[in-house]
A and B are shown apart, each in its own frame.
Chain A
Amino acid sequence: MRANTLLVGAAVSALGVLVAMPLGFVLLQAIFPTLAQGSLAQPFSHLARTLSDPVLVELTLNTLKLGACVVLAAAAVGIPLGTLRGLFEVPGARIWDVLMLVPFMIPPYISALGWIMLLQPRGYLQQLLGVHAGPALFSFGGVVFVMTLNVVPVVYFAVSRTMAASGSRLAQVGRVCGGGAWRCFWRITLPLALPGIAASLLLVFAMAIEEYGTPAALAANAGFFVLVTGIERRFSEWPIDLPGASVLSLILVVLAMLAFAWQRRLVKGRGYETTTGKPMRGEAVPLGAWRWPVAGLFAATVAVATFAPLFAIAATAFSRTLSGGLAVDNLSLVHFKAIAAGGSEASRALVTSLALGVGAAAATGLIGVLVAYCVVKTRTRGRVVLDALAVLPNTMPGVVVGVGLILAWNQAFWPATPYNTWGILLLAYCCLLLPYPVRYSHAALMQIGDSLEAAARVHGAGAVTALARILLPLLAPSLGAAMLLVFAVASRELVASLLLAPTGVQTVSLFIWRQFEQGSVGQGMAMSLVTVALTTTLMVVATLWLDRRQGRDV
């Protein structure tokens, strides 16, 4: 029991430092408007002023509508693809995995810009085919379309890993007992994958209500605004209104908590334990004649989600000028040369970002398993609070979490502080991205029977040994996917980085942002392309290495 107490203690303190502290300061800031000046005067005076804004109801409803539509669309694309990938022998499965991850590595503002340059009047599509899709893109539908493509990987990986873990054994039992193939899928396989589906859709919802750039760029002129618009405005319009932004963030938190409660209800009261130690034929089912149609489906998805924005990015990066358009004499390496000329700066930014990405993936992976284990496998009191706490950061705009981190760590009473070092960026990324490993591990742990751990304990293994030797290997596919997502986001995170970057430290996202700020769209796009290529290569290498290791262990 002592080991369990230790594990719970570690989880609580990690969540406390990473999440509760910065978010607690956001809450305090919402209550005490002059907190930043070190004063607790006039508590609650800001609440009424912020909440009396007449458009708040409309903005909240718009936010909910956007969140719901993106969740539905992401489910419609991600669940079928994830199911196919998890249960069947899809030709080129590994390649699709990597390509599905690419949209996640492209920062949302760049992918939105890519789509704009592709589809707007006189955009690349019109230059190539003579048609444009301006009206469709600059609308609510356009926002849902672009955001869905950005978040589909979250659903795809969760569903495919969950499906693969529960396997088709129980569905086969259903078949033997006379159920039809579809009936068995609907009644057995799909319900068993519910934890993974629900967890990933919760993440998608949180991402959708927190995203600023895409709705602002695509739908503002169509008159569609969301809550985050108000938060961002409080950061750009003079005077800066930190307490107001904090109050609005708390509305986002409430929305996310409702989604969290709904997700718990959905999953509650049923058993999902399919990994029980019974011999199970893990291999995927051959698709037979369906191989090529299925491969075609994957290719079509990847063509739209991955290659369309990448094309726009590459076209811009290789064009001397934007106004020159797609023309042979406008082809140029000038933007790449400019990056190479500032070589040391660009490569230092790359190294910083990649290191921070790896660090964040490792730290959140570790803490994520710990938290999920405490929530799912122990009977700790208040574990729901731990679970809820681990959803929160995902629902707050990065800039608000950034302010919370400054307030938390820039206090004179700390003898030493990570503030103004790269440590603060690591803390920020860990805070913002912890939800991925927690939700993925949570879903995976629900599938693992308690009997396995009990068997290990009976044979004399301690809690830590059982965790390391039994649970972790079983968790590895889900956890690995979540850590890849964390790495992808952390290596390109912009908003919190922009606010928190220590003096003199440059990350890739800041480098790219600076190019845009100077009006060098081409250079920004060139750097994005280099980064995506590099991160993709690294991830392919990591996946291959893990595959080989796993192969050896078996």
Chain B
Amino acid sequence: MMKLKPLMGALALGAMLAAGPVQALTVYTAGPGGLIKQLADDFKKETGIAVDVFQADTGKVMARLEAEASNPKADVVISASWDSALDLDKRGWLLPYASPNAAQVPAAYKGPSYVAQGLSALAIAWNTKSGTPRPADWSDLARPEFKGLVNMPDPAQSGTALELLSGLQSARGDAAWRLFQDLKRNDMAIAGANAQAMNPVLQGAKAAVFGAVDYVALDNQAKGESIEVIFPSSGTVVAGRPMMILKSSRQQQEAKRFVDFVLSDAGQARVAATYLIPARQDVKAKRPMIKDIKTLPMEDDAQRAGRQSLLERFTALFGRK
């Protein structure tokens, strides 16, 4: 038994450290990397409230919330998938809160218990040195010049790719499915999550991403990659990144202050600096805003509810299991 003592000692010590300062706020968030750190630092400077951050992809954030359900730890959750907010809300996990700073957030990107932190549009990311003609719309990627040269993030793994799929189907119905069939015939590849779809385009193995998350591509472009971000002429989807407070939070006042802060001028400026579209339309950004992008009509609840069967149909079309 003696041999186990150090381990047990370490565990006990760890547990003691875990108790920590009581008033720290716990935020679970999906990317982008540096943003939450800056927000947390700024928030602490302004309010004196420390923020403990857990950061992962949306799937892991939700899996952790789900596994912790009997003894929740998070106060504020920021996800990259709008559906996750709607679902948590339906299950009654969320605290209703209308932040005074959310007035300038478009109605489509807020609800009684969730509000967008920032927005991103789904775009075509095109490698300018690929030797292909500049695409202007989704359908251009189904042309022979792009045969075998297009990547799409897997809608089963990327919430934003699913938003695009669903948005296109809702707006165009069968025409959308003809487009997907043409893309399939043109050997479009389905490539994991967003970053996995992007890398081959940067190196030149592929020429374009169908449905790239625009802020990552804009950031790549700013760093000197030969990438152009094209918003398709027939319209695209602008996806919100919902921010919500859990009902189980024991620090609801602090959580509300955090949401207020993210939606404040300073917080939204940080959001804009990552090339995301700030949720508040009165905050400036160094990139096209919603009004500059042709968007598809917003989906209603019934259309959103059909996503599971939509995904199954798409999965079957592209032979994925």
Q: Find chain B residues with CB under 8 A from A426 CB.
A: 10, 14
Interface residues of B in 54-75 (CB under 8 A from A): 54-60, 62-64, 66-71, 73
Produce 1/0 per residue, B10-48, CB < 8 A to A. 111111111000000010000111100000000000000
Most chain A beta carbons < 10 A, residue from B59, B84, B87, B191: B59
- Give the docked Cα–Cα distance between A320 and B222 (Å): 12
Of B137-145, B200-208, B231-239, B253-261, the stretch lying at the interface with chain A is B200-208
- Give the docked Cα–Cα distance between A322 and B203 (Å): 5
Of A83-91, A148-156, A288-296, A403-411, the stretch lying at the interface with chain B is A403-411
Check B195–A121 contact: CB distance below 8 A. no
Check A410–B73 contact: CB distance below 8 A. yes
B227 contacts the other chain (CB 8 A): yes
Q: Find chain B residues with CB under 8 A from A24 CB.
A: none
Report which B residues bind A (CB closer than 8 A): 1-4, 7, 10-18, 26, 31-34, 52-60, 62-64, 66-71, 73, 81, 83-84, 87, 127, 129, 156-159, 189-193, 195-196, 198-200, 202-205, 216-217, 219-220, 223-227, 311, 319-321
Cβ-closest 3 pairs across A and B: A423-B14, A38-B70, A416-B15
A420 contacts the other chain (CB 8 A): yes
- Give the docked Cα–Cα distance between A396 and B292 (Å): 48
Produce 1/0 per residue, A358-399, CB < 8 A to B. 010001001100100000000000000000000000000001
Residue of A nearest to B12 (CB): A416
- Give the docked Cα–Cα distance between A407 and B11 (Å): 17
Residue of B nearest to A38 (CB): B70
**29 A-B contacts (beta carbon < 8 Å):** A10-B1, A14-B4, A36-B67, A36-B70, A58-B321, A117-B203, A120-B205, A121-B204, A134-B205, A233-B157, A237-B157, A238-B87, A239-B87, A240-B59, A242-B66, A321-B223, A322-B199, A418-B11, A419-B18, A420-B18, A424-B14, A498-B57, A499-B60, A499-B63, A504-B52, A514-B33, A514-B55, A518-B219, A519-B195
Residue of B nearest to A500 (CB): B64
Check B7–A363 contact: CB distance below 8 A. yes
Q: Find chain A residues with CB under 8 A from B18 CB.
A: 416-421, 423, 502
- Give the docked Cα–Cα distance between A6 and B26 (Å): 42
- Give the docked Cα–Cα distance between A418 and B62 (Å): 21
Residue of A nearest to B215 (CB): A519
Report which A residues bind B (CB closer than 8 A): 6, 9-10, 13-14, 36-38, 55, 58-59, 113, 116-117, 120-123, 134, 216-217, 220-221, 223, 225, 229-230, 232-233, 235-240, 242, 320-325, 359, 363, 366-367, 370, 399, 403, 406-407, 410-412, 416-424, 426-427, 498-499, 501-504, 510, 514-521
Tell me the smallest distance from the CB of A1 to a CB of chain B, in Å.
16
Check B32–A517 contact: CB distance below 8 A. yes
Which of the residues B1, B32, B62, B203 comes within 8 Å of A240, measured between beta carbons? Answer: B62
- Give the docked Cα–Cα distance between A422 and B319 (Å): 42
Which of the residues A236, A503, A519 comes within 8 Å of B54, measured between beta carbons? Answer: A503
Which of the residues B1, B26, B52, B199 comes within 8 Å of A113, measured between beta carbons? Answer: B199
Check B199–A237 contact: CB distance below 8 A. no
Q: Find chain A residues with CB under 8 A from B15 CB.
A: 416-418, 421, 423
Check B71–A123 contact: CB distance below 8 A. no
Known: A499-B56, A519-B216. A117 touches B33 (CB 8 A): no
Q: Find chain A residues with CB under 8 A from B216 CB.
A: 518-519
Check B67–A242 contact: CB distance below 8 A. yes
- Give the docked Cα–Cα distance between A518 and B54 (Å): 16
Tell me the smallest distance from the CB of A290 to a CB of chain B, in Å.
42
Q: Find chain A residues with CB under 8 A from B62 CB.
A: 238-240
Known: A423-B14, A521-B199. A220 touches B217 (CB 8 A): no
Tell me the smallest distance from the CB of A542 to a CB of chain B, in Å.
20
Which of the residues A236, A370, A416, A419 comes within 8 Å of B16, measured between beta carbons? Answer: A416
Known: A238-B62, A407-B67, A519-B216. A498 touches B56 (CB 8 A): yes
- Give the docked Cα–Cα distance between A220 and B318 (Å): 10
Residue of A nearest to B81 (CB): A238
- Give the docked Cα–Cα distance between A179 and B123 (Å): 72
Tell me the smallest distance from the CB of A199 to a CB of chain B, in Å.
23
Residue of B nearest to A62 (CB): B321
Check A122–B205 contact: CB distance below 8 A. yes
- Give the docked Cα–Cα distance between A230 and B13 (Å): 38
- Give the docked Cα–Cα distance between A399 and B217 (Å): 29
Known: A399-B60, A399-B63. A323 touches B321 (CB 8 A): no
- Give the docked Cα–Cα distance between A518 and B38 (Å): 15
Interface contacts beyond A10-B1, A410-B70: sample of 14 additional A-B pairs, CB < 8 Å, sorted by A: A37-B69, A38-B70, A221-B191, A236-B156, A321-B225, A321-B226, A359-B10, A416-B15, A416-B18, A418-B14, A419-B18, A424-B14, A502-B54, A521-B202
Tell me the smallest distance from the CB of B147 to a CB of chain A, in Å.
13
Check A120–B200 contact: CB distance below 8 A. yes
- Give the docked Cα–Cα distance between A419 and B216 (Å): 33
Q: Find chain B residues with CB under 8 A from A322 CB.
A: 199, 202-203, 225
Q: Find chain A residues with CB under 8 A from B53 CB.
A: 503-504
Known: A36-B70, A220-B320, A323-B227. A518 touches B31 (CB 8 A): yes
